[in-house]
């Protein structure tokens, strides 16, 4: 496997997960920065290093997959080049800046008979897996409203392309964290038919949206309220799903990102990967307790980011399907584009 980009996405998420997946080998890391080249060699002895993705295409017959974890603006051109070189591709989210571009990439992959998958790792968060299991079991009854929050308290901008105001960079929280919460809502509750959004630039010196709310009306009648923010001094629940029989409330983020940032790896040190302590479990039920909100604790399913690359490996071998298709990513981009228009014009947008 060739990995393009060795910043946060490449070094913290993709490289460790590739290394932890049976049958996958990290062959080449592409990064132009000398310090990141040395980091890659130190973390994965024997890995080859290239300064440009152009060095990969003449070696296409030596590789089985290209992973694109470079800045958002490079996703489409690099994925296009890889597919035209005859290589299957994994692209970090967002796969593109527009749904039309995502669908064009999907068509190219289909034309070439190649895998094109999008890294939507939050489908394997512990809270998402737990809520999905509760929904499948009918524990909530008919769901009426779904609230999802991916909030942070970062009162000072960090800078970099993710917070750039240049539209070409595809920065801002709507496309960053919003890609996760919108994808999760669509997977759980189906297609969107209407989108309303409010998006603001709150912090002094910030250039891109850092406090955004998106409301989705799903075709099945569920309403999703989604919040992404870097300006939240008091964090709300990660999930709050309310149904005719019960509600589910969960605080706190899945522990896998923190573990990866700390250098821990799946499969090392026992079988506790993705597990969280009982005090962080969500609660299911009904009631009006001002302390707990009622209900009973529900053991969180273990988070399982390694499952994504295991599914990619199976898809490459022809023994499984694509875990996240570009057309699914395009549906999420339809919502993100509608949210941008809604926030700009102050109206709900029909899809």
pTM higher than 0.85, yes or no?
yes
Beta 116-119 vs 89-92: how paired, if at all? parallel
Specify the pLDDT at position 295. Answer: 87
Phi, psi of 14 (to 5 degrees): -65, -50
Q: Which residues contact 27 (CB under 8 A, 6 or more apart)?
A: 1, 2, 47, 48, 62, 63
Q: How far is CA 96 from the centre of its chain?
A: 13
Specify the pLDDT at position 32. Answer: 97
Specify the pLDDT at position 168. Answer: 86
Of 64, 61, 8, which is closest to residue 31 (Cα–Cα)? 8
CA distances, 236 to each of 184, 240, 250 (Å): 18, 9, 9
* CB-based burial label for 293 (10 Å; 0-12, 13-18, 19+): middle
Specify the pLDDT at position 159. Answer: 85
Specify the pLDDT at position 164. Answer: 87
Of 33, 258, 104, 148, which is closest to residue 91 (Cα–Cα)? 104
Tokens at 269, concatenated = 């040190």
Which of the residues in the chain have pLDDT under 50?
Answer: none
**Do 157 and 203 touch, CB atoms closer than 8 A?**
yes
Specify the pLDDT at position 68. Answer: 98
Half-sphere exposure of 57 toward its Cβ, with a 13 Å CA cutoff?
Answer: 11
* CB-based burial label for 154 (10 Å; 0-12, 13-18, 19+): middle
Specify the pLDDT at position 135. Answer: 98
**Do 18 and 52 touch, CB atoms closer than 8 A?**
no
The architecture of the domain spanning 2-119 is 3-Layer(aba) Sandwich (3.40)
* Domain locations in the chain as residue ranges: 2-119, 123-304+334-345
Say how many C-beta atoms besides its own lie within 10 A of residue 45's C-beta. Answer: 7
The architecture of the domain spanning 123-304+334-345 is 2-Layer Sandwich (3.30)
Phi, psi of 207 (to 5 degrees): -110, -30
């Amino acid at each position: 496997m060739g990995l393009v980009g060795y910043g946060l996405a490449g070094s913290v998420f993709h490289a460790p997960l590739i290394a932890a997946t049976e049958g996958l080998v990290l062959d080449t890391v592409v990064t132009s920065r000398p310090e990141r080249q040395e980091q890659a060699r130190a973390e994965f002895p024997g890995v080859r290093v290239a300064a440009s993705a152009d060095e990969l295409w003449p070696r296409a017959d030596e590789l089985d997959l290209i992973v694109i974890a470079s800045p958002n603006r490079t996703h489409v051109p690099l994925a296009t080049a890889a597919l035209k070189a005859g290589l299957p591709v994994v692209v970090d989210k967002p796969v593109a800046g527009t749904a039309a571009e995502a669908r064009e990439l999907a068509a190219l992959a289909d034309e070439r008979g190649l895998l094109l998958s999008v890294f939507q790792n939050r489908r394997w968060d512990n809270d998402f897996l737990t809520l999905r299991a509760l929904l499948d079991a009918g524990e909530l009854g008919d769901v009426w409203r779904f609230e999802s929050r991916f909030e942070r308290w970062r009162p000072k901008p960090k800078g970099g392309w993710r917070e750039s105001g240049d539209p070409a960079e595809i920065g801002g929280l709507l496309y960053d964290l919003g890609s996760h919460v919108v994808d999760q809502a669509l997977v759980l509750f189906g297609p969107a038919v209407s989108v309303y959004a409010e998006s603001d630039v709150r912090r002094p010196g910030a250039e891109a949206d850092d406090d955004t709310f998106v409301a989705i009306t799903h075709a099945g009648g569920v309403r999703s309220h989604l919040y992404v923010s870097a300006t939240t001094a008091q964090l709300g629940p990660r999930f709050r799903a309310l149904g005719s029989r019960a509600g589910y409330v969960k605080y706190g983020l899945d522990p896998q990102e923190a573990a990866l940032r700390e250098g821990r790896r799946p499969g090392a040190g026992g079988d506790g990967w993705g597990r969280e302590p009982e005090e962080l479990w969500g609660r299911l039920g009904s009631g009006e307790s001002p302390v707990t909100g009622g209900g009973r604790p529900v053991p969180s399913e273990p988070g399982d980011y390694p499952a994504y690359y295991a599914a990619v490996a199976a898809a490459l071998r022809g023994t499984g399907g694509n875990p996240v298709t570009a057309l699914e990513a395009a549906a999420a981009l339809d919502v993100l584009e509608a949210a941008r228009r809604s926030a700009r014009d102050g109206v709900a947008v029909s899809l």
